Amino acid sequence: MVIVLKGAEAIIKALEAEGVKIIFGYPGGAILPFYDALYDSDLIHILTRHEQAAAHAADGFARASGEAGVCVSTSGPGATNLVTGIATAYADSSPVIALTGQVPTKLIGNDAFQEIDALGLFMPITKHNFQLKKPEEIPETFRAAFEIATTGRPGPVHIDIPKDVQTGEIDLEKYPIPAKVDLPGYKPKTVGHPLQIKKAIRLLSEAEKPVIIAGGGVIISGAHEELYRIVELLKIPVATTLMGKGAFPEDHPLSLGMLGMHGTKAANYAVTEADLILAIGCRFSDRVVGNPEEFAPNAKIIHIDIDPAEIGKNIRVDVPIVGDAKNVLRSMLMGLSKENIKVKESWLERIRYLKESSIPMMDFNDKPIKPQRFVKELMSLLEGKKFIITTDVGQNQMWIAHYFKFKCPRSLISSGGLGTMGFGFPAAIGAKVAKPGNKVICITGDGGFLMNSQELATVAEYNIPVVICVFDNRTLGMVYQWQNLYYNKKQSEVHLGESPDFVRLAESYGVKADRVSSPDEIREKLEEAIKSDEPYLLDIVIDPAEALPMVPPGDKLTNIVKPERVEPRVKSIKFKDIERVRIEKESVSY
């Protein structure tokens, strides 16, 4: 029996064959045949109000579920608007499939209306890149795209789809869906070399001051249980990267918290003093390492990673192990169980001291609200519940990273590698769609929220019950902190002014909203928002001068600088000042 479909219909069928049920996107001329076919399909499409938000939502979906998220845009500006979101997914190894419309094949290269070199645009920010030339390529391309995106080190894959490929015909008898694909040259190594694993076991058994660094790879591979068993067996303290938060329960006595520039004192000092580092699924970024020459100066380093390109890239490694973290840790557990390894009590005592001596002392009842107080109340209200917290980027992100104790994987979704402002809110939409049974809370700064605040229309239209908590200090807080520390306290272009009123903004979209301006209001209003089971925005008026200690860029991890309290100084410029400058310029005679 001959089954002939339009290319656009075959794309729908290929997505369905991969188990896709929900996609995020924004239509336009070059992708209209796909949207025409979508109308008669069972796929659920969520219309975001900007393509960047579609990419972030697909990313949030992928990180919450472990499955590939899918986003769609038209050609030209639609494709360019996806770029920030796809680059964000690439930096954090998130499996996103990005579909872009394209002008008909005969017009490619002719500077047609809304044409862009999508292959060139996406090549450096994707794991792989395809451009379809005919409908018959659809089955194999889509099967390959999902295989590449979700295996090995995950990452985004882009498929560029010319309009005539969408309108052309394909015979499914000759080109069945799903296709069988062979990807020569793409064979991710998932099992660690046994000799390297033996070396790692020997070093672990000999170490006096071992520390584990758990990165995002532990969560991606589902290796958190194996990690926990190794920690319990050997009594090794665990520091995490930002992307690794949730890989190990942070209420555990051996949890050190986050490592690096914005890390905890306990984590930074323990890693610096260690004689052995077992790094799992982390890439030793500059924000984790500080000065590479002074990072863990007395330690031998075991590095487990599925991507061989990451091993030895930033930090010297004594025992490299290429493989999937879950498989490698399982093999290590088998070997370690045969060893008689004694717990190093003096090291554990040192770890206890580091943790106890770095507990911050503060008055949570201060006004304006300390963001730490809000995080404390949020953690209390979510105790015992299934939840996901997404963050934006900046101080809001660091307050969550420091003060919220995550206990399970995929409960924190944050932009780490690219540090993308505007990520948190649309990522929360994707996370809630992926995990409807979880409470989803977006923690965002006012600066980051304003970059994608239009998605209030999306949550209102689809009634997606996420809680948006805007830390409102009318300041680009992290930039403000850096300027105070390293730029002679010159606060240049970091003050956001008094517009908008976030409560009224949310209400204009039909989203419930409230303002929290006093510490004694936090719990009641936050509890109401979480229980409402509908979109809800809380405008949290926080202290603009509050800042966390940090390690200067490129410095050693133990040089933790506590910022001085500097009150905001607003340099006010109004249109009359701009007008005066322009009039003066235009009056000059040449």
Amino acid 221: pLDDT: 97
As beta bridge partners, residue 302 has 278, 319
| H or E stretch at 38 | helix 32-39
Q: Which of 16, 114, 199, 556 is catalytic?
A: 114
Instruction: Please give the Cα distance from 372 to 540 (Å, whole number).
Output: 12
pTM assigned to the model: 0.96
The catalytically annotated residue of 21, 106, 113, 564 is: 113
User: What does the alpha-carbon distance between residue 341 and residue 249 come to, in Å, rounded to a whole number?
Assistant: 23
Q: What is the mean pLDDT of the chain?
A: 94
SS (H, E, C) 425-471: HHHHHHHHHHCCCCEEEEEEEHHHHHHCHHHHHHHHHHCCCCEEEEE
**Which has the minimum average pLDDT: 114-123, 307-316, 340-349?**
340-349
The single residue listed with the structure tokens 């990180």 is 63
Instruction: Give CA–CA dist 236/209, Å, rounded.
Output: 8
Catalytic residue among 258, 261, 451, 478: 478
Nearest partner of 256 among 242, 237, 273, 243, judged by Cα: 237
State how far the Cα of 267 lies from the Cα of 109, in Å rounded to an integer: 53
163 is catalytic: yes
From CA 412, how far away is CA 440, in angstroms rounded? 10
From 191-195, 517-521, 570-574, the region with the lowest mean pLDDT: 570-574
- pLDDT, tens digit (0-9, with 9 covering 90-100), for 45-103: 999 999 999 999 999 999 999 999 999 999 999 999 999 999 999 999 999 999 999 99
Task: Please tell me the CATH code under which domain 194-357 is placed.
Answer: 3.40.50.1220
Residues in the chain: 590
Q: HSE-up of 399 (CA within 13 Å, CB side)? A: 27
Question: Could you tell me the strand order of the sheet in which 387-391 lies?
Answer: 412-413, 387-391, 439-445, 467-472, 536-541, 512-516
**Residue found by looking up tokens 């794991």 in the block:** 127
Give the start-to-end residue ranges of the domains of the chain: 4-171, 194-357, 371-541
Catalytic residue status for 51 = yes
Residue with tokens 């980051």: 448
- Is residue 114 annotated as part of the catalytic site, yes or no? yes
Quick check: helix, strand or coil at residue 227?
A: helix
Q: Which of 9, 51, 136, 137 is catalytic?
A: 51
* Nearest-angstrom CA–CA distance, 399 and 396: 5
Examine the residue annotation and report whether 379 is marked as an active-site residue of this protein. no
pLDDT band at 588 (very low <50, low <70, confident <90, very high): low
Share of the chain above pLDDT 70, in %: 98
Indicate if 194-357 has the same CATH topology as 4-171.
yes
What are the contacts of 558-561 at 24+ separation with CB within 8 A?
A: 558/268, 558/269, 558/272, 560/265, 560/268, 561/485
pLDDT digits (tens, 9 = 90+) for 361-399: 766 777 889 999 999 999 999 999 999 999 999 999 999
Residue 585: the pLDDT is 67
Provide the 3-class DSSP secondary structure of residue 61: helix
101 DSSP 8-state letter: E
Within 10 A of 228 (CB to CB), how many other CB atoms are there?
17
Which one is the CATH code of 4-171: 3.30.1360.120, 1.10.1060.10, 3.40.50.970, 3.90.1150.10? 3.40.50.970
| Tally of CB atoms within 10 A around 421 | 22
What does the alpha-carbon distance between residue 153 and residue 189 come to, in Å, rounded to a whole number? Answer: 10
Question: Is domain 371-541 annotated with CATH 3.40.1710.10?
Answer: no
CA–CA distance, 96 with 98 (Å, rounded to integer): 6
**One of 13, 163, 344, 370 is an active-site residue; which one?**
163
425 has catalytic annotation: no
User: What are the φ and ψ backbone dihedral angles of 276, each rounded to 5 degrees?
Assistant: -150, 130
Sign of the alpha-carbon dihedral angle for 128, 80, 93, 282:
positive
